[in-house]
Structure 1
Amino acid sequence: MKIYAVCGHGLGSSFMLEKNIRTVMEKLGKAAEVSHTDLASVSTDLADIFVLGQDLAPGMHGKVDPHKIIVLKSIISKAELEEKLGQWLTDHV
């Protein structure tokens, strides 16, 4: 499974989100290849899951299957990330 954290430029916030995804996946006992990228580089075949803040959600429209997208209200909230990522895994794996 591949998970990509997405931000506007693929630098700071997506890197931080990538680290949080790794932490949450470890806590959930799940394995995944986790990385980060910028919004312009996103393509449907790049990953199984894309995690991003709600400010970038409109930019994902038409780029990937909506079922591959996890939108966070707060990209710094590990609790929200764990809840939504855990639910996605329950629903899709």
Structure 2
Amino acid sequence: MMKIVTVCGMGFGTSLMLLMDIQAIAKSHGYEVEGEAVDLGSAKGKECDFMVASSEISAELSEESVDVISINNLLDKKEIEEKVMPVIERISKGR
């Protein structure tokens, strides 16, 4: 199962909403995604397939060994889908 980590400043609210959006989008494309919503401090070094965060936060995650997807408008489900789905599909094919 694919695991993603969504990251925001506090680790709840924004990242939880983002995680639920991504899981719903993935499911609509036939993918099951496990996830965890965390704050920036907890995100570093987390085991996952990729991370998703707002553009401000994603800059702080540049040292991570996994892809970090930067979302400019966290309320824009179309932007989230356009950026996240290609990564989900690529990771699924790679397994």
TM-score above 0.5: yes
Judge conservation of contact 2:50–2:69 (CA < 8 Å) in 1: yes
Match of 1:10 in 2: 11
Amino acid at match of 2:73: S
* Aligned-residue RMSD, C-alpha: 1.4
2:88 pairs with 1:89: yes
Instruction: Give the CA deviation at 1:45.
Output: 4.0
The alignment of Structure 1 onto Structure 2 pairs a total of residues equal to 91
Query: Are residues 8 and 71 of structure 1, via their aligned partners in 2, closer, same or farther at CA, if it must alter by over 3 Å?
Result: same
Structure 1 unaligned regions, length at least 5: none
CA distance in 2, matches of 1:92, 1:14: 21
Q: Percent identity?
A: 27
Superposition map of 1:45-60 within 5 A: 45-60=46-61
Q: TM-score, normalised by structure 1?
A: 0.87
Question: Which runs of no fewer than 5 residues in structure 2 stay unpaired?
Answer: none
Q: Which amino acid aligns with 2:28?
A: K
Mapping for residues 1-93 of structure 1, pairs under 5 Å: 1-62=2-63, 64-65=64-65, 67-93=66-92
Provide, for residues 18-67 of structure 1, a one-character-per-residue CA deviation record: whole Å limited to 9, x for no partner: 110111111111011122000111133421110111011221122x12x5
TM-score (norm 2): 0.85
1-structure distance, mates of 2:28, 2:45 = 27
CA contact (8 A) 2:52 2:58 kept: no
